[in-house]
């Protein structure tokens, strides 16, 4: 078994593009509309969404743009990358003043989390 995709919510399309393309440097794979009837049947939410699919190496991130419902708890997306790529993303995120959490750990890779402007939380893993 392998993970094929996970989904995130953004209310504003420009915030999605800023985070996914501007900060994480992901490529847009495809986009499609999700009408409120199908959305209700699948998710129990009667809303229209634009869905943008961004490509990672081993899975995709589906970004639902439209009305945002709060995610509570520990939800985040972890993305693995080479150390140099991670440092470049950290530098870019800092330059835009994004909320970040960094913690050095003895004998382990530093923990790094970045929060996008709408609260989506990304963990950046090094060496993957």
3-state secondary structure of 5: strand
pLDDT above 80 for 121: yes
**Stretch 20-43: mean pLDDT:** 94
Determine the Cα–Cα distance for residues 73 and 125; give it in Å rounded to an integer.
20
Q: Where are the alpha helices (DSSP H) in 7-75?
A: 13-17, 36-43
Domain extent, residue 82, equals 5-68+75-126
Q: How confident is the model at residue 21 (pLDDT cuts 50, 70, 90)?
A: very high
Over the stretch 36-84, which tens digit does the pLDDT of each residue have? 999 989 888 899 999 999 999 889 999 999 998 877 667 888 899 999 9
**For 26, which DSSP code?**
P
Rounded CA separation 83/86 (Å): 5
- pLDDT for residue 10: 94
pLDDT band at 128 (very low <50, low <70, confident <90, very high): low
Our count of domains for the chain comes to 1
Q: Between 45 and 13, whose confidence is greater?
A: 13
**Beta carbons of 40 and 46 less than 8 angstroms apart:** yes
**Residue 107 pLDDT class (50, 70, 90 cuts):** confident
Query: What's the pLDDT score for residue 127?
Result: 73
Average pLDDT of the chain, as a whole number = 91
Specify the 3-state DSSP secondary structure of 114. strand
- CATH number for the domain harbouring residue 57: 3.10.180.10
> In sequence order, which residues have a C-beta less than 8 Å from that of residue 99 and are 6 or more positions away?
114, 115
Q: No. of H helices and E strands in the chain?
A: 3, 8
By the 8 A CB rule, do 38 and 49 touch? Answer: no
């Amino acid at each position: 078994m392998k993970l094929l995709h996970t989904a995130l919510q953004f209310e504003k399309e420009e915030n999605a593009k800023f985070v996914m393309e501007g900060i994480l440097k992901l490529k847009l794979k495809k986009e499609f509309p999700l009408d409120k009837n199908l959305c209700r049947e699948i998710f129990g939410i009667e809303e229209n969404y634009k869905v943008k699919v961004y490509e990672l190496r081993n899975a995709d991130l589906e970004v639902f743009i439209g009305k945002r419902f709060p995610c509570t708890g520990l939800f985040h997306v972890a993305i693995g990358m080479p150390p140099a790529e991670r440092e470049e993303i950290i530098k870019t995120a800092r330059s835009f003043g994004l909320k970040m959490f960094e913690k050095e750990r003895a004998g382990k890779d530093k923990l790094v989390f970045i929060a996008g402007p709408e609260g989506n939380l990304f963990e950046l893993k090094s060496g993957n």
